[in-house]
Amino acid sequence: MHTLSDDELRRKPQVVLDDAKRGESALVTVDGEPVMLALPLGPVSGNSTERLELAVSLYERDLLSLGLATKVAGLSYSRMVDELSRRRIPVVRYDVDDLERELAYVRTLAGGR
């Protein structure tokens, strides 16, 4: 893993991308404290179990969409849905506002009933 300061990142941002292309992680620090971890997601990076666990964790915390989670995990959309379902993680997420909008729309289709 390559560690670089925020100043080094400003001067040479390409370093992080170059590391990722080689399958290496990069840790960025500010005043010696870690603030960012860049993880490579190409075919040479990590094993499939690690990538799946990362994708599931980030999806579950609403940090990744389902589409991006499939890419991180290296799975097809249907396999990712199956994996999330197996873990009892909701695939369709509605908050109250989303549900109210959907219901209002359905009412317009039903003639206001």
pLDDT tens, position by position, 27-50: 899 998 989 888 887 665 556 788
113 domain-assigned: no
Residue 18 and residue 66 in one domain: no
Residue with tokens 């990744």: 64
Q: Which two tokens stand for residue 1?
A: 């893993």
Residue 52 and residue 103 in one domain: yes
pLDDT band at 4 (very low <50, low <70, confident <90, very high): very high
- pLDDT exceeding 70 applies to what percent of the chain? 93
- What's the structural domain count of the chain? 2
Confidence at residue 72, expressed as pLDDT on a 0 to 100 scale: 86
Residue 55 and residue 96 in one domain: yes
Confidence at residue 113, expressed as pLDDT on a 0 to 100 scale: 62
Residue 54 and residue 81 in one domain: yes
**Cβ(20)–Cβ(38) below 8 Å:** yes
62-98 tens-digit pLDDT:
888 999 899 888 899 999 999 999 999 999 888 889 8
- Look over the chain and give the mean of its residue pLDDT values, rounded to a whole number: 88
112 domain-assigned: no
Confidence at residue 45, expressed as pLDDT on a 0 to 100 scale: 57
* Partners of 36 in the β-ladder: 28
Domain boundaries, position 8: 2-38
Residue 60 and residue 79 in one domain: yes
Mean pLDDT, rounded, for 13-20? 91
All residues at 6 or more sequence positions from 72 whose CB lies less than 8 Å from its CB, including other chains: 41, 51, 54, 55, 58, 64
Residue with tokens 């980030």: 58
Alpha-carbon distance of 88 to 107, in angstroms, equals: 31
Confidence at residue 47, expressed as pLDDT on a 0 to 100 scale: 66
Residue 53 and residue 102 in one domain: yes
* Nearest 10 degrees: Cα torsion 54, 60, 64, 68: 70
Residue with tokens 């400003």: 10
Angle, CA of 35, 58 and 92, to the nearest 5°: 150
